[in-house]
Amino acid sequence: MLGAILCGGASRRMGTDKALVHWDGVPMVGRVAAALRDGGCDPVVAIGGDPAALADLGLEVIADRWPGEGPMGAVITALEHADGHAVVVSCDLPLLTAGTVANLAAAVEGHDAAVPRTDRWQSLCAAWAPSALSVLATAFDGGERSLQRVFDRLDVVVPDIPEVDLTNVNTPSDLRQ
Protein backbone atom coordinates (compact mmCIF):
# COMPACT_ATOMS: atom_id res chain seq x y z
CA MET A 1 0.00 0.00 0.00
CA LEU A 2 1.31 3.42 -0.96
CA GLY A 3 2.01 5.85 1.86
CA ALA A 4 1.74 9.44 0.66
CA ILE A 5 2.67 12.52 2.65
CA LEU A 6 1.09 15.80 1.60
CA CYS A 7 3.87 18.40 1.65
CA GLY A 8 2.67 21.05 -0.78
CA GLY A 9 0.85 23.52 1.44
CA ALA A 10 1.91 27.15 1.72
CA SER A 11 2.55 26.94 5.51
CA ARG A 12 1.40 30.54 5.92
CA ARG A 13 0.58 30.19 9.62
CA MET A 14 3.87 28.43 10.37
CA GLY A 15 5.92 30.91 8.36
CA THR A 16 8.22 28.19 7.04
CA ASP A 17 7.88 24.81 5.33
CA LYS A 18 6.04 22.63 7.89
CA ALA A 19 7.39 19.40 6.44
CA LEU A 20 10.92 20.45 7.41
CA VAL A 21 10.11 21.84 10.87
CA HIS A 22 11.65 19.73 13.61
CA TRP A 23 9.54 18.03 16.26
CA ASP A 24 11.62 16.39 18.94
CA GLY A 25 14.75 16.77 16.80
CA VAL A 26 13.30 15.18 13.65
CA PRO A 27 11.65 16.92 10.67
CA MET A 28 7.90 16.35 10.90
CA VAL A 29 7.88 14.74 7.45
CA GLY A 30 10.48 12.26 8.68
CA ARG A 31 8.33 11.31 11.67
CA VAL A 32 5.29 10.85 9.43
CA ALA A 33 7.30 8.80 6.91
CA ALA A 34 8.52 6.51 9.70
CA ALA A 35 4.94 5.97 10.94
CA LEU A 36 3.81 5.10 7.42
CA ARG A 37 6.69 2.66 6.86
CA ASP A 38 6.29 1.07 10.28
CA GLY A 39 2.53 0.83 9.67
CA GLY A 40 3.12 -1.26 6.54
CA CYS A 41 3.20 1.27 3.69
CA ASP A 42 5.65 0.68 0.87
CA PRO A 43 6.59 2.80 -0.94
CA VAL A 44 6.35 6.04 1.03
CA VAL A 45 6.40 9.20 -1.08
CA ALA A 46 5.95 12.93 -0.68
CA ILE A 47 3.36 14.74 -2.76
CA GLY A 48 4.49 18.28 -3.51
CA GLY A 49 6.88 20.25 -1.36
CA ASP A 50 10.56 21.07 -1.77
CA PRO A 51 11.91 18.25 -3.95
CA ALA A 52 15.58 18.74 -3.04
CA ALA A 53 15.01 19.00 0.71
CA LEU A 54 12.64 16.01 0.75
CA ALA A 55 15.02 13.94 -1.38
CA ASP A 56 17.78 14.75 1.13
CA LEU A 57 15.54 13.10 3.73
CA GLY A 58 15.28 9.98 1.57
CA LEU A 59 11.81 10.58 0.15
CA GLU A 60 10.75 10.18 -3.45
CA VAL A 61 8.81 13.30 -4.42
CA ILE A 62 5.84 13.22 -6.77
CA ALA A 63 4.78 16.60 -8.10
CA ASP A 64 1.24 17.58 -7.17
CA ARG A 65 -0.65 17.85 -10.46
CA TRP A 66 -2.58 20.83 -9.10
CA PRO A 67 -0.28 22.81 -6.77
CA GLY A 68 -2.07 25.51 -4.83
CA GLU A 69 -5.48 23.90 -5.38
CA GLY A 70 -5.74 22.26 -1.96
CA PRO A 71 -5.38 18.71 -0.72
CA MET A 72 -8.02 17.05 -2.92
CA GLY A 73 -5.78 17.37 -5.95
CA ALA A 74 -2.88 15.93 -3.97
CA VAL A 75 -5.01 12.96 -2.87
CA ILE A 76 -5.95 12.37 -6.51
CA THR A 77 -2.26 12.59 -7.46
CA ALA A 78 -1.42 10.00 -4.78
CA LEU A 79 -4.16 7.62 -5.93
CA GLU A 80 -3.01 7.94 -9.53
CA HIS A 81 0.45 6.77 -8.44
CA ALA A 82 -0.76 4.02 -6.13
CA ASP A 83 -0.80 0.41 -7.19
CA GLY A 84 -3.95 -0.20 -5.18
CA HIS A 85 -4.84 1.44 -1.88
CA ALA A 86 -3.11 4.46 -0.38
CA VAL A 87 -2.77 5.96 3.07
CA VAL A 88 -2.55 9.72 2.55
CA VAL A 89 -1.60 11.97 5.44
CA SER A 90 -0.47 15.52 5.99
CA CYS A 91 3.15 16.28 6.82
CA ASP A 92 2.12 18.11 9.99
CA LEU A 93 1.01 15.08 12.05
CA PRO A 94 4.11 14.44 14.18
CA LEU A 95 2.28 12.18 16.65
CA LEU A 96 0.96 9.80 13.99
CA THR A 97 1.73 6.19 14.94
CA ALA A 98 2.29 3.01 13.00
CA GLY A 99 -0.73 1.53 14.76
CA THR A 100 -3.00 4.22 13.38
CA VAL A 101 -1.59 3.73 9.88
CA ALA A 102 -2.15 -0.02 10.10
CA ASN A 103 -5.68 0.57 11.44
CA LEU A 104 -6.51 2.89 8.51
CA ALA A 105 -5.07 0.41 6.01
CA ALA A 106 -7.12 -2.46 7.44
CA ALA A 107 -10.32 -0.42 7.75
CA VAL A 108 -10.44 0.73 4.12
CA GLU A 109 -10.81 -2.83 2.80
CA GLY A 110 -14.25 -3.09 1.19
CA HIS A 111 -14.85 0.68 1.30
CA ASP A 112 -13.89 3.74 -0.76
CA ALA A 113 -12.19 5.43 2.18
CA ALA A 114 -11.36 5.07 5.87
CA VAL A 115 -11.51 8.53 7.43
CA PRO A 116 -11.34 9.37 11.14
CA ARG A 117 -13.97 11.77 12.45
CA THR A 118 -13.82 14.08 15.43
CA ASP A 119 -15.89 17.27 15.21
CA ARG A 120 -15.36 16.96 11.44
CA TRP A 121 -13.83 14.57 8.91
CA GLN A 122 -10.07 14.25 9.41
CA SER A 123 -9.49 13.99 5.69
CA LEU A 124 -5.72 14.57 5.87
CA CYS A 125 -5.20 11.29 7.70
CA ALA A 126 -7.10 8.74 5.66
CA ALA A 127 -6.85 5.56 3.64
CA TRP A 128 -8.25 5.49 0.14
CA ALA A 129 -9.28 2.66 -2.18
CA PRO A 130 -8.85 2.90 -5.95
CA SER A 131 -12.67 3.11 -6.20
CA ALA A 132 -12.55 6.62 -4.70
CA LEU A 133 -10.45 8.02 -7.52
CA SER A 134 -13.25 8.48 -10.07
CA VAL A 135 -15.51 10.17 -7.50
CA LEU A 136 -12.75 12.53 -6.39
CA ALA A 137 -11.67 13.29 -9.98
CA THR A 138 -15.23 14.01 -11.09
CA ALA A 139 -15.80 16.34 -8.15
CA PHE A 140 -12.45 18.06 -8.72
CA ASP A 141 -13.12 18.48 -12.46
CA GLY A 142 -16.47 20.03 -11.51
CA GLY A 143 -14.73 22.69 -9.42
CA GLU A 144 -14.98 21.12 -5.96
CA ARG A 145 -11.88 21.58 -3.84
CA SER A 146 -13.16 20.47 -0.43
CA LEU A 147 -12.71 16.85 0.57
CA GLN A 148 -15.24 17.51 3.35
CA ARG A 149 -17.96 17.94 0.74
CA VAL A 150 -17.36 14.70 -1.17
CA PHE A 151 -17.61 12.15 1.62
CA ASP A 152 -21.36 11.85 1.14
CA ARG A 153 -20.63 10.51 -2.38
CA LEU A 154 -18.32 7.76 -1.08
CA ASP A 155 -18.62 4.60 1.00
CA VAL A 156 -16.67 5.82 4.02
CA VAL A 157 -15.89 3.84 7.13
CA VAL A 158 -14.92 5.68 10.32
CA PRO A 159 -12.09 3.82 12.07
CA ASP A 160 -11.44 4.24 15.76
CA ILE A 161 -8.27 6.33 15.89
CA PRO A 162 -6.72 7.89 19.01
CA GLU A 163 -7.30 11.64 18.71
CA VAL A 164 -3.73 12.36 19.76
CA ASP A 165 -2.54 10.81 16.48
CA LEU A 166 -4.52 13.49 14.64
CA THR A 167 -2.74 16.37 16.38
CA ASN A 168 -1.53 18.69 13.67
CA VAL A 169 1.03 21.45 13.97
CA ASN A 170 0.12 24.62 12.09
CA THR A 171 1.79 27.44 13.99
CA PRO A 172 5.00 28.07 15.94
CA SER A 173 2.94 28.07 19.15
CA ASP A 174 1.74 24.52 18.33
CA LEU A 175 5.39 23.45 18.51
CA ARG A 176 5.57 24.54 22.15
CA GLN A 177 2.58 22.50 23.33
In tens, the pLDDT along 83-111 reads: 999 999 999 999 999 999 999 999 999 99
Residue 91, strand partner residues: none
Task: Confirm if 59 and 41 have CB atoms less than 8 A apart.
Answer: no
Report the C-alpha gap between 146 and 175 in whole angstroms: 27
Task: Look up the pTM and report it.
Answer: 0.94
Q: Contact 128/113 with Cβ under 8 angstroms?
A: yes
For residue 155, give the 3-state DSSP assignment: coil
Tell me the three state secondary structure of residue 174. Answer: helix
Residues with Cβ within 8 Å of 45's Cβ and at least 6 positions away in sequence, in order, are 2, 3, 4, 5, 59, 60, 61, 62, 78, 81
User: By the 8 A CB rule, do 5 and 89 touch?
Assistant: yes
The predicted pLDDT at position 21 comes to 87
- Tens of pLDDT, residue by residue over 111-125, are 999 999 998 999 999
Say which residues have a Cβ less than 8 Å from residue 117's Cβ, sequence separation at least 6.
158
The full set of domains in the chain, from first to last, is: 2-168 (3.90.550.10)
Distance CA 23, CA 8 (A): 19
**What is the average pLDDT score of the chain?**
92
